[in-house]
Amino acid sequence: MPALDHAHIDGDAERVVRRLTKGGYTAYLVGGCVRDLLLGGNPKDFDVATSATPNEVRALFRNCRIIGRRFRLAHVFFGKKIIEVATFRANPREDDDGGDDDLLIRRDNVFGTETEDARRRDFTINGLFYDFEREDVIDHVGGLPDLEARLVRTIGDPDVRFREDPVRMLRAIKFAARCGLTIERETYAALLRQREDIRKSAPPRVVEEVYRLLRGAAARRSIELALEAGVADVLSPFLAALYDGAQASEPTDDGGADLADLDDEERAWRRVWYDERPLPARRPPLRLGFLDDAELARRRALAWATLDQLDAAVRRGAEPANALLISALVAPFIADTVVAPHLRPPEIHRAIVEVTQPLFDQLAVPRRDAERVRYALFALRKVAAARAKQQPLEMTGGGRESLEDAVAIDGLLAAARGDGATADATADDEPAEAGADGEGEDGDEPDRKRRRRRRGGRRRREDDDAAPALVS
């Protein structure tokens, strides 16, 4: 495991930790930033864990605001940057009266010790602290050896941890895909057993985690893992059917391999995959009124290639809005239909609804995002018309946002096809405004690092603040 590179640590995060320490409190960097630094990455967000309560943090920092109800946090502001400071917490279940049949965590505001805080976190790789005073990583949960082995492992019994918070199963997939890790065998087996519990989670939390799966430069691998584990069938049977031509995410038999030829680890994995694996409910075959099976298969291949292009765009620094993430999922299946010259607008509208509404319903996509997706998909027709006439798009008026989204989608599809032709309007004209959501990498809470939105009309950014284009 390489040493943590101090040069990649945010200076403001270090100042927050050192001021807390100077004030007599224990304070460390924690979670995803430590994980990513140890993996050789350059974290965007830095979180702090401390023995100070939120009110004590606010007393030390004038640029501080306390947020949250279920999960009280202190946000320390440095311009647009937010350093999140959380008090050490214990597992709230230890004080609950609920029985084993109901492990779902409904409150998480029980203060605790440093060790308790590490042990209440979801995965060992997220339970690491960095101590500036000692210039050393503190590991109470076995995260360092798991990082060395590149494993995602729950802290404690995986069945219990997933039942406490089923969204952790989506987070396991996210970290495995984004960091190039493998979900540890017992953790994976528990995920297969408990995946149906995802339905118990609040829909806004689930869809927020889906957005993070798509936004992390590993959308393709995330969807692949979700299909392999049967999680996609729980999230959205329609999405699973769009991307998977099989009728269920069933493993293919290995041809009856001789068990004597397998080592202990391979035998254990065989039990997970072939002997003990609960299969998802058999999903109904996908039928889209505007596509035959052969064309659906062709567009499915384009969809996977589009996810590759989305990942490449995010790696270049693009920050696609939530609606563009959903658009990237469905556009490959509908774009050629939208631009077909022989179809009239009512027919196009029906096709768009057919390929989007089941996904919106099953994922509980917010209405604003759903409407933006539909408008953007319909606007692909204008983008195609401008290209055919070799005319620039007029990016003005009330439909500007839809056209900007359509240009970005068109660029992703063109790149996925290997076709460099796009409309004569670039995505540099404010292409893909980042959503108002923070990543929320390290705890289990969805409402993190949200910036206040200005009132009084559409926000305009200065040129130097514009996000990179989805396509280059």
Task: List the catalytic residues.
Answer: 45, 47, 122
- CB neighbours of 415 closer than 8 A, spacing ≥ 6? 309, 312, 471
- CB neighbours of 290 closer than 8 A, spacing ≥ 6? 337, 351, 354
User: Does residue 230 come out as left (phi exceeding 0), alpha (psi in the -120 to 50 range) or beta?
Assistant: left
What does the alpha-carbon distance between residue 243 and residue 383 come to, in Å, rounded to a whole number?
26
Residue 152 phi/psi, 5-degree rounding, is: -100, 115
Question: How would DSSP label each residue in 34-89?
Answer: HHHHHTT---S--EEEESS-HHHHHHH-TTEEEE-SSS-EEEEEETTEEEEEEE-B
What does the alpha-carbon distance between residue 438 and residue 448 come to, in Å, rounded to a whole number?
5
What does the alpha-carbon distance between residue 383 and residue 37 come to, in Å, rounded to a whole number?
42
What does the alpha-carbon distance between residue 386 and residue 344 come to, in Å, rounded to a whole number?
18
Measured in Å, how far apart are the chain's first and last C-alpha atoms? 35
What does the alpha-carbon distance between residue 383 and residue 422 come to, in Å, rounded to a whole number?
8
Q: Which two tokens stand for residue 83?
A: 């350093």
Tell me how far CA of residue 19 lies from CA of 44, 59, 115, 118, in angstroms: 21, 11, 22, 22
| 265: DSSP letter | H
DSSP-derived pairing of the beta strands 151-152 and 182-183 = parallel
What's the half-sphere exposure (Cβ side, CA atoms, 13 Å) at 203?
A: 9
Residue 75 phi/psi, 5-degree rounding, is: -105, 125
What does the alpha-carbon distance between residue 243 and residue 304 come to, in Å, rounded to a whole number?
8
What does the alpha-carbon distance between residue 242 and residue 236 come to, in Å, rounded to a whole number?
10
